[in-house]
Chain A
Amino acid sequence: MDSTTYWEQRHNTIYSTVGHWQGGVDVIIAGYSLMTQLMPHCTFMQVHILNATGKLVDKAIADWLEVNFMGVSYPDSRIWCNQVSAYAADTKATVVAAASAAILAADSRAYGGGQTTRASMIFLQQAFAKFNKGYSFHDIVSSAKQVKGKPIIVGFARPIDRDDERLTPYKSRQKALGIPEGKFVRFAQQLSRFLDEHYHLSMNSGGYSAAFLLDQGFTPDEAYKIKAFAVISGAIGCYRDVEKLPPNSFLPQKCCDIDYIGRPIRKLR
């Protein structure tokens, strides 16, 4: 017989380092009692971050992340993930199917706050390390992928508009919550000024959020987990907008609205 020891140890057995439900008694999350420690004293966002990272952060940090979630969850169905949710409403799929589909749609390298934050954090970590070794902003930016003479740096350009309306509330809320500006946010702002001056690019919500999360000691992978469902609220809003309409009401298209550029009509041989 082949050795199956590894699987025998796990056969009908789950090993967890995250949490445990003791039915009728309590739930333990990363060593904390949900009933007696977390529920009485913590916010949902604190518990979510605890589940996502194993770290119980101060309420102020969790509160700022709630603001960040608001900033990536606009109820405007022109935004791609919300458009998906609205299509789900058009077919009368359930709101949960719509929300799930929207979350999957926002798992994108272009927008959505999850992957983009992770990518931006990785870039900022590497760029900050180079900066501390004496590299100039010009050196750092030149090493990034370039398209049409402009650097492609996640978190420092928006796919739609250049100016990001979210940075002002992010900064003011951070100040109001008593969270000091950390080294990564300061570095990101310096980089943004350089990019603005030379390329007419500047920091966006993802860039600020990435720098903020690095300042709070999160890793890029932890941030990706924290923000896994960040777009859900706006997506549900866009579902609500369409759900009561008859089918094929949301952005109806004529046949000619699709520009067919394939092979011409031909006969089977």
Chain B
Amino acid sequence: MADANKKDFVYSAKAQTRILFEQASALNPYVAQARYLQGYNVIELMQKKSFAEVLLLLFTGELPDKNKAELFEKLMIALINLGPRHPAIKAAMVAGVSKANTEHLLPIGLSVLGGKQNGALEVEQAVIFFQENIKKSPTQVAEQLSGNRASHTEGEYHLCAGFGSHYGSIDEFSASLMQQLISDEHHKASFPFLHWAKQFSQALAPDNMGILITGLAGAVFCELSIKAREAIGLFQLICAPGVFAHGVEQTHKPITAMPMLSDEQHRYTSSS
């Protein structure tokens, strides 16, 4: 294809992975007889470990200790349903009621959930924010960021990834979730990122801001040694049940079961 004299990319002969080893069948090299996830036999994992533990193994390469497994399990419950007013879930719902193919509902919702604000990319940035600031004073970081804030901002404002206002107020539910995760430390585990997030939220409270759901996810992912890029898909993954549940619920209803705004409710103003 390419001129042999030209410099070209050097492509590997094979793809590589550290995650899964497939042991080939003795009868057919295209068939696996066993799978080893991060070195563990999948059948043994099935017998002895929870889904949450194996999910963390998949992304971090190691099985978590009990405290981390419990923390992750709790986060998975916290994020299982972002609520029917989250844009990602609204997108799945509107697609469901308008008779999009059912198999598209989850990808539709997760595409919307991939965003930089209230989405997975904000979680990624929140992980980076925590990693960069964990050794700093939360109060000082809050003061510095608040000082840089534009004087007039209209609508929801995210001071930094994972923190800000939610419909102009503190996100009370996310704050409650954070408080619950911290108070659940029955094994006296110290979760430094969650504690930092709590102090940072307290510093932001006078400005009607605090932790957002994306910040909570970011803090927990830091506790679990989930890397920033891995946090993107993991956030989408653990929010996925609620996205699909709300989307598929609407498929059983007629197309008229959700509002269709009238012409008067859709106001067009020419920009020219």
Contacts and interface: CB of A to CB of B under 8 A. Distances in A.
B37 to A, nearest CB: 25
B157 interface: yes
B115 A105 contact: no
A15 interface: no
B78 to A, nearest CB: 16
B interface majority secondary structure: loop
B111 A22 contact: no
Interface of A: 1-2, 4, 7, 22-24, 76-78, 80-81, 83-84, 87-88, 90-94, 97-98, 100-101, 104-111, 115, 159-160, 245-253, 255, 257-258
Contact of B108 (A94, A101, A115): A101
B65 interface: no
Contact of B104 (A78, A104, A249): A104
B99 A108 contact: yes
B98 interface: yes
Taking each of A81, A83, A93, A97, which has the highest tally of chain B beta carbons within 10 Å of its own beta carbon? A93
A247 B114 CA distance: 13
Contacts of A246: 117, 153-157
B114 A97 contact: yes
Interface in B107-128: 107-108, 111-119, 121
Interface of B: 1-3, 27-31, 84-85, 87-88, 90-91, 94-95, 97-101, 104, 107-108, 111-119, 121, 153-158, 166-167, 255, 260-261, 266
Contacts of A106: 100
Contacts of B154: 246
A2 B28 contact: yes
B266 A91 contact: no
Contacts of A252: 85, 167
Contact of B91 (A4, A101, A159): A101
Considering the complex of A and B, which 3 residue pairs feature the smallest CB-CB distances, nearest first?
A91-B115, A246-B155, A80-B98
A111 B111 CA distance: 21
Contacts, number: 150
Contacts of A107: 100-101, 104
B101 A88 contact: no
B255 A84 contact: no
Nearest to B25: A2
Contact of A101 (B84, B107, B119): B107
Contacts of A7: 30
B94 A80 contact: yes
Contact of A253 (B85, B95, B156): B85
A66 B136 CA distance: 58
Contacts of A109: 99
A104 B100 contact: yes
A105 B88 contact: no
Given A22-B1, A83-B91, A97-B114, 7 more contacts: A1-B27, A80-B95, A81-B98, A92-B115, A110-B99, A115-B101, A246-B117
Given A23-B2, A91-B87, A93-B115, A247 B28 contact: no
A97 B232 CA distance: 14
Contacts of A100: 107, 111
A104 B87 contact: no
Contacts of A83: 90-91, 94
Contact of B117 (A77, A81, A91, A101): A91
B156 A105 contact: no
B115 A101 contact: no
A256 B95 CA distance: 21
B29 A4 contact: yes
A111 B116 contact: no
Contacts of B261: 78
B155 A101 contact: no
Contact of A2 (B2, B27, B157): B27
Nearest to A90: B87
Contact of B260 (A22, A160, A257): A160
A130 to B, nearest CB: 27
B100 A159 contact: no
A251 to B, nearest CB: 7
Nearest to A2: B28
Contact of B111 (A101, A159, A160, A255): A101
Contact of A91 (B1, B84, B112, B255): B112
Interface hub of B31, B84, B95, B155 (most chain A Cβ within 10 A): B95
A247 B118 contact: yes
Nearest to A92: B116
Contacts of B31: 2
